[in-house]
Amino acid sequence: MTRTTEFLMFFAAQILETIGMWRIFVKCGKRGWLSVIPLFRQYYLGVCAGRDGEGRMLALLEAGVDASIVSCILFEVGSLQYMVASFFFLLVMIPYTIFRIRVCFVLCDAFGRNRFWVVPWIVFDWLCALIWGLIPSFKTAEGYPFDEEEAAPELSGLEVDLDAPGLSINITRRTAMSFLKRKVLLRDIHLNIPMGHMVLLLGGSGSGKTTFLNAVTGYEKAKAVITLGDSDVYKQYNSMKYDIGFVPQQDLVRGSDTVYRTLSDAARLRLPADYTIDKRRNRINDVLDTFGLTPVKSSLVDKLSGGQRKRLSIAMEYISDPTLFILDEPDSGLDGVMARSLFEKLRSIANTGKIVIVITHTPDRVADLFDDVIVVAKDAMRTGRLAYYGNTIDAYEFFGKRSMEEILMSVNRKEEGGEGRADDFVRKYSALKAGGMA
């Protein structure tokens, strides 16, 4: 067989597969033309089967397989390039076949066909694509797509006044590109937090709490306008970064340094350059006192208890005396007494006119310390939405519950053990705000 014949056969198989896939995509409610692009073809085959992740991997492997086949055809048999291409082909064919099997298995379910079809799909994919695509009796099974959700609540679009004092948050949406698909992580979150308020951020796992905080601080930007006082957090971040303290979930401290040195380095990095040594030392000592770290200031961070490490993490952020102080689960790993004591410290910080926003998974033991609560919940499209923002006392009435954990249960999805009423509350809150605004 000549090289030209090999190439023509490969090309013909690609064309036939494209035609078949075009029709399969149409049957699955996708755009048929996506099958023209080889990379998209494999990915959307995965999407049709309801396996985006596998489809993504398959697309990458397909690119490798095609590149190595074309190289094998182009280069002379026995040449170094041919050998490398053959080796590469062998290398990618193994995972490619595995992922192909995974996708085809689920595709058979989607089309209500026997799983034995996987074998011909692996050997003669172009032929199967033609059969499944062109023969009318090959159609998607009843109830396809199996994971379709009901419509998500409509957008409120009720933006808050950016000139209001405090922290104004207007998040239109926060998206993330995952291979060829754009996923909306947060949408339509508008609120204003006055200065001196301590706010609880409530939401189930994966509801987008941390994404929300990252969007507010500009850590991971969203399509949003966030203002703190007169300043735009996104546009003026460089001048504001020392005014925003963000304590993430994990303790970001180096174990081999002493507590004092850790804090001293943080102070040198974050405090203005014109701070005198005495002024800086006083600030460090004040913060050590505030967080009860003075007795262990000479200890290595590695030797600290969980609570002390957490307080050190917070102290490092607090050293620059930020106006907006955000903490992601600062009480994780702390017992009730220590957690309470920590939150009381945060309350005292808020009382000095700062804004403190806190995520915690055990809100009821400290609920009385908060002024407001933000409830973020996943809607039907699994996008983080604002289900409530307001006074903690009013929140109980709004949700018809007696504790924060009950509120959380009501917005959590059913498969997570919750009541799955997130969409109801998103709509109710939008209506409430619209009524209030009107």
Partner 1 sequence: MDTYVKHTGRVSQTFIYLGKLFRMFIFRNDWKALPMAAFISGLVSFVVGKKMNVSMEGTLRGAFAFSCICIWNGFFNSIQVICRERHIIKREHRSGLHMTSYVFAHMIYQAFLCSCQAAITITVMVLAKVKMPSMGYVTDPIVDMFFTMFLITYAADMIALFISSFVKTTTTAMTVVPFLLIFQLIFSGGFFSLTGNAYKLSYLTVSKWGLTSLCAQGEYNSLPMTSLWTSMSKMRSMEIEGQKPVDELLDYITASKRKDELMLECGSNNQDKRYESSAENVLKCWRNLGIFIALFAFLSVVMLEFIDYDRR
Residues in the chain: 438
The yes or no reply on residue 265 touching partner 1 (CB under 8 A) is: yes
Question: Which of residues 48 and 233 has its CB atom nearest to partner 1 in the complex?
Answer: 233
Where does this chain touch partner 1 (CB under 8 A) — which range of 48-56, 58-66, 88-96, 228-236? 228-236
Count Cβ neighbours within 10 Å for each residue of 272-296 and write b for 16 or more, e otherwise: eeeeeeeebeebbeebbebbebeeb
Residues 275-304 that bind partner 1 (CB under 8 A): 300
Residues 235-254 that bind partner 1 (CB under 8 A): 236, 239-243, 246, 248, 250, 252-254
How far apart CA 32 and CA 23 sit, in angstroms, is 6
The 74-93 site mask, x for binding partner 1 (CB under 8 A), equals ------x-------------
How far apart CA 235 and CA 231 sit, in angstroms, is 8
Q: Are 56 and 45 in contact (CB under 8 A)?
A: no
Q: Is the dihedral of CA 396, 401, 403, 409 positive or negative?
A: negative
Question: Which of residues 181 and 268 has its CB atom nearest to partner 1 in the complex?
Answer: 268
The yes or no reply on residue 270 touching partner 1 (CB under 8 A) is: yes
Question: Which of residues 213 and 373 has its CB atom nearest to partner 1 in the complex?
Answer: 213
The yes or no reply on residue 228 touching partner 1 (CB under 8 A) is: yes
Question: Which of residues 61 and 228 has its CB atom nearest to partner 1 in the complex?
Answer: 228
How far apart CA 105 and CA 90 sit, in angstroms, is 23
How far apart CA 344 and CA 333 sit, in angstroms, is 17
How far apart CA 263 and CA 138 sit, in angstroms, is 67
Question: Which of residues 23 and 270 has its CB atom nearest to partner 1 in the complex?
Answer: 270
Q: How far is the CB of 189 from partner 1 (least distance, A)?
A: 19
Identify the residue among 42, 156, 168, 210 touching partner 1 (CB under 8 A). 210
The yes or no reply on residue 273 touching partner 1 (CB under 8 A) is: yes
Residues 42-81 that bind partner 1 (CB under 8 A): 80
Identify the residue among 67, 75, 122, 261 touching partner 1 (CB under 8 A). 261
How far apart CA 168 and CA 158 sit, in angstroms, is 13
Q: How far is the CB of 57 from partner 1 (least distance, A)?
A: 18
The yes or no reply on residue 207 touching partner 1 (CB under 8 A) is: no
Question: Which of residues 1 and 80 has its CB atom nearest to partner 1 in the complex?
Answer: 80
Question: Which of residues 128 and 222 has its CB atom nearest to partner 1 in the complex?
Answer: 222
Where does this chain touch partner 1 (CB under 8 A) — which range of 35-43, 56-64, 189-197, 222-230? 222-230
Q: Are 418 and 373 in contact (CB under 8 A)?
A: no
- List Cβ neighbours of 283 (8 Å cut-off, separation of 6 or more): 267, 271, 275, 319, 321
Where does this chain touch partner 1 (CB under 8 A) — which range of 3-11, 22-30, 268-276, 376-384? 268-276
> Residue 181 — φ and ψ, nearest 5°?
-120, 135
Q: Are 210 and 186 in contact (CB under 8 A)?
A: no
The yes or no reply on residue 256 touching partner 1 (CB under 8 A) is: yes
How far apart CA 380 and CA 129 sit, in angstroms, is 33
The yes or no reply on residue 340 touching partner 1 (CB under 8 A) is: no
Q: Where are the beta strands (DSSP E) in 285-380?
A: 324-328, 355-359, 372-378
Note the residues at the interface with partner 1 (CB under 8 A): 80, 176, 210, 219-220, 228-231, 236, 239-243, 246, 248, 250, 252-258, 261, 265, 268-274, 300, 323
